[in-house]
Structure 1
């Protein structure tokens, strides 16, 4: 692992149970507070709370965020590969990359939320089939980037989310700039070891892949263990289920980052 990589703090601003004006103000507040990355997610309905509550689409929102921000990186945590043709997604990502001045992270995963599939007319299939589709899409995305005019502003970072050890972590070894996982320090340590093994199998330096994790709770409680496991991008979840957004926990993590990075 590359221990010299600095700590970064992300916010997943979950686009559910809120008006867009509140979401936009919160993106601006997170950038002002010093967050490194602001993510949304790629679903069509809330994942919890009122199942038919307010919800907004992912990529049109990212285009708006690209104009509404100036420093923070933006992306989805994560895009569902099933919902868009890979060549179209590559073009969308390239376009948001340009709009944002080179601040997009392409977060992507195989998809899992059945209601999205059923109500919007996508074939749900099997978990294995969706993973196979993701494996086929990743090289198509990179190939399309090479043929677009204008080209992306830079090598767009690819974040692959998920902990499946046989396929997802192998795809991360082959294609990811960032791997995003879930769980406690012990779980993340194990998953990182599996990812490192896949990297060695294909001759890639594991230190090239930044390790990312979702975090809950105070940074002094969970931060050190995850940091020791190799995590460098810590992402706080935040939804609008209530009167607005409270960025108190995000600010605690930003202060912890600043202390840790010196």
Structure 2
């Protein structure tokens, strides 16, 4: 697990009536010194005007791969349900090559029912979607091992979620990065559960990088207090969201300053 603090920004691909607004935000994020630029994998906005402007995730990642030169990039997170696992592995390998080895394969089980119903996917249940994720992960890793050419690097797999019975078990088996929405108390508990799942499969839990969402609503001091507290627990990747059409990067810029002061 990395001990270096890393800062991510999730540029939510919603409410931007023109793609140039997102392209500009990527430039500003890379120039600001972030380590990772994420988007998300949905087909409709998650808040605000439900029928507002929205763009697709993975075609956008291909564009970002060519546009950027330093930052890692990925989805926070890809919905497992929307693509065949072997196809997703091939897409990830291709974007990895487009970016010269900077892709993070973020994935989760999916949850936004409107995406499913309007695009013709079976929604199922939370349990069935998690089971599908568990069945897809070995298929993804197997296909990655067979592709020609091979990925530029061993593509890190980020798994989002903190369900104790299934999600954390999947992370113990397949995750390189665990991303969760946590506070200090819930992180401690979930981390202990993950450690037990790792013990069950004979894996060292310190191999898994810990990632957390950082909420920013204008209060910089509160955000940085959370950053101090959660990194003291062992979280090393902090990501703050920015939504369209403005893509205000104030929160992530403050986190970058905090990171740089902390690490010299």
Mapping of residues 168-183 of structure 1, within 5 Å: 168-183=167-182
Could you tell me which runs of 5 or more consecutive residues in structure 1 were left unpaired when the two chains were aligned.
Answer: none
Could you tell me which runs of 5 or more consecutive residues in structure 2 were left unpaired when the two chains were aligned.
Answer: none
User: Residues 108-150 of structure 1, C-alpha deviation per residue, up to 9 Å, x if partnerless?
Assistant: 0000000000000000011100000000000000100111100
Q: What is the match of residue 81 of structure 1?
A: 80
Q: What is the match of residue 59 of structure 2?
A: 60
Supply the distance in 2 between the matched residues of 1:121 and 1:58 (Cα, whole angstroms). 17
Aligned: 1:6 with 2:8: no
Mapping of residues 40-59 of structure 1, within 5 Å: 40-59=39-58
Aligned: 1:16 with 2:14: yes
User: Residues 17-47 of structure 1, C-alpha deviation per residue, up to 9 Å, x if partnerless?
Assistant: 0121010110111001100000000000000
Instruction: Quote the offset at 1:179 in angstroms.
Output: 0.2
Supply the distance in 2 between the matched residues of 1:147 and 1:227 (Cα, whole angstroms). 37
For the 8 Å contact 1:189–1:230, the answer to whether it is kept is no
Supply the distance in 2 between the matched residues of 1:26 and 1:165 (Cα, whole angstroms). 35
Structure 1: which 4+ aligned runs deviate by more than 6 Å?
none
Bigger shift: residues 41-50 or 209-218: 209-218
Aligned: 1:259 with 2:257: no
Q: What is the match of residue 92 of structure 2?
A: 93
Supply the distance in 2 between the matched residues of 1:130 and 1:36 (Cα, whole angstroms). 30
Supply the distance in 2 between the matched residues of 1:159 and 1:8 (Cα, whole angstroms). 14
What root-mean-square deviation, in Å, do the aligned CA atoms of Structure 1 and Structure 2 show? 1.0
Supply the distance in 2 between the matched residues of 1:84 and 1:136 (Cα, whole angstroms). 13
Instruction: Quote the offset at 1:220 in angstroms.
Output: 2.4
User: Residues 57-93 of structure 1, C-alpha deviation per residue, up to 9 Å, x if partnerless?
Assistant: 0000000000010000000000000000000000000
Instruction: Quote the offset at 1:259 in angstroms.
Output: 1.6
Supply the distance in 2 between the matched residues of 1:223 and 1:152 (Cα, whole angstroms). 33
Mapping of residues 171-210 of structure 1, within 5 Å: 171-210=170-209
For the 8 Å contact 1:13–1:38, the answer to whether it is kept is yes
Match of 1:237 among 214, 222, 241: 241
Q: What is the match of residue 70 of structure 2?
A: 71
Q: What is the match of residue 231 of structure 2?
A: 227
